Amino acid sequence: MENSKRNALSVARIESLLLNNKALLITIVLGAILSFSTPVFLTQTNILNVLRQVCVSTIVAVGFSLLLGSGNIDLSVGSILGLVGIIMGELMLLKVPTPLLIIIGILSGIACGLINSAMIITFTLPPFIVTLATSQIFRGIGYVITNMGPILGFPDDFLFWGQGYIGPIPTPIYIMAFITLLLYFIVNYTAFGRYAIAMGGNMEATRVSGVNVNAVRYGVYAVLGGCAGVAGLITTARVGSSQVAAGVGMEMDAIAAVVIGGTSMSGGNCKIFGSLLGCVIVGMVNNALNLLSIGSTWQVIVKGIMILFAVLLDSVTTKLYAQREKRV
Amino acid sequence: MGQTNILLMEGIKKYFGGVRALDGVHFELNTGEIHALVGENGAGKTTLMNVLLGSSIKDAGRIVFKGKEINFKSPADALASGISMIHQEIRLIQQVSVAENIWLGREKKFSKFKVIRYKLRLEATRALLKELGLEQIDPLKRVNDLSVAQMQLVELARAVSYDSDIIIMDEPTSALTTTEIEQLYKIVRNLSKKGTAVIFISHKLDEILSLCDKVTVMRDGHTISTFPCGEVTQPELIRLIVGRNIDNAYVKSARAAENTGEPVLEVKNLCRTGVFEDISFSVRPGEVLGFSGLMGAGRSEIMRAIFGIDAHTSGTIIMNGKTLGISKPRDAVLAGMAMVTEDRLRMGVLHSLPVLFNTTIAAFKSFCTMLGLIKTQREMQAFRDIVESISVKYHSPYQKANQLSGGNQQKIVIARWLLCKPDLLILDEPTRGIDVGAKSEIYKLIDQLAQEGMAIILVSSDMPEILGLADRVIVIRNGRIVYECLHEEANQETIMSHAFYG
């Protein structure tokens, strides 16, 4: 009897471990399948390649996790990313030195986030609609500034942020690691992070508890804006030019990765490493399609299927979780 | 007068978990009878009607309607069989016209080949309103352009249009002015003449005695008795409505009359137009101030305004001698107030968050460094200390709060505020929906906190709770203070009679 009790306990523990870390599980299973089926997968070059490809989406996704966790949404991140790239391009044409240009670029990303939240808070509008509108506006400003053409001619010290290496590892991977750790720290070890998650759990109750929810809201949008700014830097430096279409659809990639990573769409929890793994999963699948010589046209369909899969997974595990809790 | 029995409910029982909402209710209704149903909040009136209409399933008993035993599956089912209900809250579709609302779901009546003939419907609506003497309501007007009183009359018209045998009215006069109330009485009397039976739920005893034929008193899930209205007086009714003995679950230590200290909170002429008016009172350290009154009297609204959840139109709030400009809960918290809200789900618990986060959220700044970094160990220690001191039952600090029982959720919300060490704690219906065990623990806690010198405002609809715990009682009726007394002078009859008719 002792034994069966212990077994039941460990089964429950394994269940909850799996439900809590489904992204890690998927990563391991997918990684194992890929290493067996395509020998190239496990080489150092290929792994670094995958990681470099997911840098931009990961940086946006970790910022997005905090935002979704706080019960908000931002459909304009892709446009912010694009706009930041263009602002950096214009500053470069004005011969602004690179460090200053990068700082202004990221600050303008933060400013975009603050504009979004200011609109939402001041006029009490739904975030979905506000950011849908600003995504058009931010994108449109980029079109107007550039007249739809790319901006070329970045200096090497700028390109370093997208194309350079420190040791054997590409620079963007360091930036990704830094931003991910930073967000993990914010969420788990700062009052601001805690308030954000509380707000996602129950905004009214958080307000009644004496939390300045408006300030927190400004904060989460600013953080995401900053992340979009950094992502804009890497994207621009990687391709070596400001592109008007940079970051199109980025918000959807981010949402997909965040949900795969276990953060709830309705707020109240936030899994930063989960979002990182979510991006890695998407990256691995794309990589596999490349290795199997399946064209990039198919990748779009596969991405769509993965988003569906992610949402399905979210709802199924939530139900499983609820059932499990009933048993306890 | 040729009245025949149309409805018989006997031995009706309904349990919610372990709570007996209805415990063997007996209720009879004759054709053409206007029958009042009275009782305190939570006596079981609404549950009884829900059971009749099929929106709640009874656990025992039988219902005989027009000579046949029935078990409605839903209110729609009941409506089709001839029982309609007017709810306390307006259930009209705001964006469409009066005529569309009245005939919603019955468009077939006016349709040819599935196309609604608006003219026929309009005529039918005009005829209906005229019959009821409600010509002042334009059938083409959109509902959200009507006054609340007119909306209620439209609800009435809709209920009548079903030609039901029984119409249930839940507090139908609460939003009406005197002339409209007269109109409603006339309609009800006409219905009764035509043989329709009316169940009239109301707190207004004077209106019941002048309008109704019979009155049934409910208390604690029982029907206490039924009288013809001519044979009973208001004071007798009140005694029957409250009449129960206070048990000893309430602890109240003999706090020396320390009511000499400076008041913690002083409220002067607080107003919110249309909700409450001219509210002035003060609370001293170590004092439990009880707020009594009927549901909807405005008690919670007053507390919410003091705490900054709702706005107030005028008046002064003074805390520890300082006049406060309160516009949001944060202002109140910084001034040393804490409030356990009535609406635990919406304004209390952070549902999907860990118990730990739920407990520390309000005092969170004290577990952080200047830069806003969390002192994790300090937080955990404070959490463990406080939940132990008020004996919360939980599995792990990271368990989600919505997995706890109602009583433990409430304790978590109280613990959240205790960590702030407030000077004033406002408790709005702190024991509603909580099991008996947790209730008595919360009572002990209230007493203990008061002894330690905290000022406490206790809003409660539970009369014994107020009588057992409060040093002083204020009664609110229609948004005004109508009565105030000390613990020694407080008794249920006086408090109830003030709550009912000032």
Question: What interface predicted TM-score (ipTM) does this complex get?
Answer: 0.84
Condensed to tens digits (0 to 9), the pLDDT of residues A89-118 reads: 999 999 999 999 999 999 999 999 999 999
Give the contacts of A202 (CB within 8 A, at least 6 positions apart).
Answer: A268, B346, B347, B349, B350, B351, B353
- Determine phi and psi for A82, rounding to 5 degrees: -60, -45
What pLDDT is stored for residue B39 in this prediction?
Answer: 83
Q: Which two tokens stand for residue B276?
A: 């409450």
- Percent over 90 (pLDDT), chain A: 66
- For chain B, the 3-state helix, strand and coil shares in percent, each to the nearest 5, are 35, 25, 35
Query: Which chain B residues are within 8 Å of A324, Cβ to Cβ?
Result: none
pLDDT at A256 over 70: yes
What pLDDT is stored for residue B1 in this prediction?
Answer: 45
Query: Which chain B residues are within 8 Å of A214, Cβ to Cβ?
Result: none
Closest-CA residue to A239 (of A178, A163, A179, A187): A163
CA distance A22 to A6: 24
What pLDDT is stored for residue B230 in this prediction?
Answer: 86
Residue finishing a domain among B182, B215, B242: B242
What pLDDT is stored for residue A211 in this prediction?
Answer: 95
Q: Is B353 found in the same domain as B324?
A: no
**What mean pLDDT comes out for the span A267-283?**
92
C-alpha B494: how far from chain center:
21
Write the CA distances from A279 to A43, A53, A272, A287, B500, integer angstroms.
19, 9, 11, 12, 63
pLDDT at B240 over 50: yes
Q: Which chain B residue lies closest to A189 (C-alpha atoms)?
A: B374
What pLDDT is stored for residue B397 in this prediction?
Answer: 92
Condensed to tens digits (0 to 9), the pLDDT of residues B447-472 reads: 999 999 999 999 998 788 898 899 99
Condensed to tens digits (0 to 9), the pLDDT of residues A187-211 reads: 999 999 999 999 999 999 999 999 9
Query: Which chain B residues are within 8 Å of A189, Cβ to Cβ?
Result: 373-374, 376
pLDDT at B29 over 70: yes
Task: State whether A268 and B353 contact (CB < 8 Å).
Answer: yes
- Percent over 70 (pLDDT), chain A: 94
Give the contacts of B301 (CB within 8 A, at least 6 positions apart).
Answer: B272, B275, B276, B310, B479
Domain hosting residue B135, numbered range: 93-152
Band of the pLDDT at B255, cuts 50, 70, 90?
Answer: low
Q: Which of A2-6, A168-172, B43-47 has the lowest mean pLDDT?
A: A2-6
Q: Which residue has the higher pLDDT, A13 or B277?
A: B277
Q: Is B306 found in the same domain as B198?
A: no
Q: Is B408 found in the same domain as B317?
A: no
Question: E-assigned strands of chain A?
Answer: 165-166, 169-170
What pLDDT is stored for residue B58 in this prediction?
Answer: 87
CB-based burial label for B69 (10 Å; 0-12, 13-18, 19+): exposed
pLDDT at A216 over 90: yes
| A13 is a domain residue | no
What pLDDT is stored for residue B434 in this prediction?
Answer: 72
What pLDDT is stored for residue A322 in this prediction?
Answer: 66
Q: Which two tokens stand for residue B302?
A: 């007053």
Q: Which chain B residue lies closest to A325 (C-alpha atoms)?
A: B403
Question: Cβ(A256)–Cβ(A78) under 8 Å?
Answer: no
Q: Is B429 found in the same domain as B411?
A: no
C-alpha B162: how far from chain center:
29
Band of the pLDDT at A2, cuts 50, 70, 90?
Answer: very low
What pLDDT is stored for residue B245 in this prediction?
Answer: 47
Distance from CA of A198 to the nearest CA of B (A): 7
| A173 is a domain residue | yes
What pLDDT is stored for residue B44 in this prediction?
Answer: 83
Three-point CA angle B224, B229, B230, nearest 5°:
130
Task: State whether B372 and A212 contact (CB < 8 Å).
Answer: no
pLDDT at A320 over 90: no
| B157 is a domain residue | no
pLDDT at B246 over 50: no
- CATH code where residue A108 lies: 1.10.3470
Task: State whether B372 and A325 contact (CB < 8 Å).
Answer: no
Q: Which chain A residue lies closest to B333 (C-alpha atoms)?
A: A210
pLDDT at B313 over 50: yes
pLDDT at A76 over 50: yes
Q: Is B214 found in the same domain as B76?
A: yes
Q: Which of A37-51, A310-324, B26-40, B359-373 has the lowest mean pLDDT?
A: A310-324
Q: What is the tally of structural domains in chain A?
A: 1
Distance from CA of A26 to the nearest CA of B (A): 24
Band of the pLDDT at A24, cuts 50, 70, 90?
Answer: confident
Give yes or no for B390 touching A (CB within 8 A): no
Give yes or no for B332 touching A (CB within 8 A): yes
Task: State whether A268 and B362 contact (CB < 8 Å).
Answer: no
CA distance A250 to A83: 13
What pLDDT is stored for residue B260 in this prediction?
Answer: 63
pLDDT at A6 over 60: no
Band of the pLDDT at A1, cuts 50, 70, 90?
Answer: very low
The secondary structure of B279-291, three-state, reads EEEEECCCCEEEE
Question: Cβ(A108)–Cβ(A229) under 8 Å?
Answer: yes
Question: Cβ(B35)–Cβ(B215) under 8 Å?
Answer: yes
CA distance A76 to A196: 20
pLDDT at B66 over 80: yes
Condensed to tens digits (0 to 9), the pLDDT of residues B70-90 reads: 999 888 899 989 999 988 777
Q: Which residue has the higher pLDDT, B343 or B199?
A: B199
Q: Which residue has the higher pLDDT, A312 or B272?
A: B272
Task: State whether A189 and B374 contact (CB < 8 Å).
Answer: yes
Q: What is the tally of structural domains in chain B?
A: 4
| B415 is a domain residue | yes
Bridge partners for B214 per DSSP: B35, B228
| B252 is a domain residue | no
| B158 is a domain residue | no
Q: Which of A127-141, B52-66, B225-239, B250-264 has the lowest mean pLDDT?
A: B250-264
C-alpha B391: how far from chain center:
29
CA distance B265 to B309: 17
Q: What is the mean pLDDT of chain A?
A: 90
Task: State whether A208 and B376 contact (CB < 8 Å).
Answer: no
Domain hosting residue A124, numbered range: 37-320
CA distance B433 to B461: 12
- Determine phi and psi for B493, rounding to 5 degrees: -60, -50
Q: Is B74 found in the same domain as B182?
A: yes
What pLDDT is stored for residue B341 in this prediction?
Answer: 93
| A22 is a domain residue | no
Q: For strands B424-428 and B337-340, give the pairing.
A: parallel
Nearest to A206 among B350, B373, B374 (CB): B350
Q: Please give the torsion angle defined by the CA atoms of residues B67, B73, B78 and B81, in that order, rounded to the nearest 10 degrees.
A: -50
| A132 is a domain residue | yes
Closest-CA residue to B307 (of B427, B429, B418): B427
Question: Cβ(B464)–Cβ(B246) under 8 Å?
Answer: yes
Interface A-B: count of C-beta contacts within 8 A: 84
- Percent over 70 (pLDDT), chain B: 94
Q: Please give the torsion angle defined by the CA atoms of residues B105, B107, B109 and B113, in that order, rounded to the nearest 10 degrees.
A: -130
What pLDDT is stored for residue A327 in this prediction?
Answer: 47
What pLDDT is stored for residue B107 in this prediction?
Answer: 82
Q: Is B269 found in the same domain as B235?
A: no
Nearest to B374 among A190, A212, A325 (CB): A190
CB-based burial label for B12 (10 Å; 0-12, 13-18, 19+): buried
Condensed to tens digits (0 to 9), the pLDDT of residues B100-147 reads: 899 888 888 888 787 888 888 899 999 999 988 888 889 998 988 888
Q: Is B183 found in the same domain as B71?
A: yes
- CATH code where residue B201 lies: 3.40.50.300
| B366 is a domain residue | yes
Q: Tokens 């990961």: give the residue.
A: A58
What pLDDT is stored for residue B258 in this prediction?
Answer: 55
pLDDT at B2 over 60: no
pLDDT at B256 over 60: no
Query: Which chain A residues are within 8 Å of B368, Cβ to Cβ?
Result: 190-191
Q: HSE-up of B236 (CA within 13 Å, CB side)?
A: 12
Q: Which residue has the higher pLDDT, B254 or B300?
A: B300
